[in-house]
Structure 1
Amino acid sequence: MPLSEHEQRLLEQMERALYAEDPKFATALEGAGMRTHTRRRTGWAIAGFVVGVVLLMTGVMTQIIVVSVVGFLLMLAGAVMAVTGWRRSPGNDRAAGGGTGTAGGGRAQRRPRRARMMSRIEDRWRRRRDEQQG
């Protein structure tokens, strides 16, 4: 459920206040460390997936079902970790956005990609409804 305009404005004000009050802490929360963590987690997930494939194939070739099941479960866990890590990555929401160009508070003034998309959809819906009524 998207935030209302009032809630979005309040959130942006809180973000700006955080940047003004403690820019070092706000920058630490921005996600540079999170991106590294996400990349590392995704790397481990891919490695786990590959090991799972190897175990699955080994279990099939040697006809040891337990090894195949463990390989499949490892593949599944690796795939889930990789996909959820990729979806949650901090840079993923900002991939399509240009910036505001302001120093210090630029990120706080940008709306997330999903919020922009939802506002465009809502605008189109209102225009269609107005055209049908008028």
Structure 2
Amino acid sequence: MPLSEHEQRMLDQIEQALYAEDPKFANTVRHTNPAVHYKRWIIKASIGFVLGIAVLMGGMILQQPAVGALGFLIMLACALWGLSGWRKGSGGNESGGSAPQGQQQAKQARQQKPGMMHRFEERWRRRQEGDG
């Protein structure tokens, strides 16, 4: 959802204040690509998943069910962590082709008829512009 003019002005003011206060940090944040961050998540999760397999196999070899269960939990946690990084890195379900047909139709229906939040936003915008 795009920002309103008022929100965009506020964001620009905050950004300018950040540049004035700490230009080195602002420059670092501006040039950082979030996809790289999520790619690191996926790599770390993959390594953790492989370690979880090793712990699981070690528990089976040593005949220690608790160690095997711990390995399984490590695998599960790393799989969820990796999937989370993958979803966030790819933009979630907004890619169009990956969403099921029913979800796409529901999204289009929501876009065609504005809801309560749209009315609230319109009222707020009119108040901010001074139209009453």
TM-score by length of structure 2 reads 0.51
Q: Quick check: 1:12 aligned with 2:11?
A: no
CA distance in 2, matches of 1:81, 1:16: 33
Structure 1 stretches of 4+ with a deviation exceeding 6 A read: none
Counterpart of 1:73 in structure 2 is: 73
CA distance in 2, matches of 1:122, 1:60: 52
Counterpart of 2:117 in structure 1 is: none
CA distance in 1, matches of 2:107, 2:32: 25
Deviations 1:50-101 (A, max 9, x none): 1112221332244211220111111011112112222333x626x85xxxxx
Structure 2 alignment gaps of length 5 or more: 96-104, 115-132
CA distance in 1, matches of 2:108, 2:10: 24
Counterpart of 1:114 in structure 2 is: none
CA distance in 1, matches of 2:48, 2:16: 42
Q: Alpha-carbon deviation of 1:123?
A: 3.6
Higher relative contact order, structure no. (Cα contacts within 8 Å, ≥ 6 residues apart) = 1
Counterpart of 2:37 in structure 1 is: 37
- CA-atom RMSD in angstroms: 3.8
Counterpart of 1:84 in structure 2 is: 84
CA distance in 2, matches of 1:66, 1:59: 7
Q: Provide closer, same or farther for how the CA distance between residues 123 and 26 of structure 1 changes in structure 2, counting only shifts above 3 A.
A: farther
Percent pairwise identity: 24
Report the AA paired with residue 46 of structure 1. S
**Count of residue correspondences:** 98
Deviations 1:15-69 (A, max 9, x none): 444566649627724642x433322222111110111122213322442112201
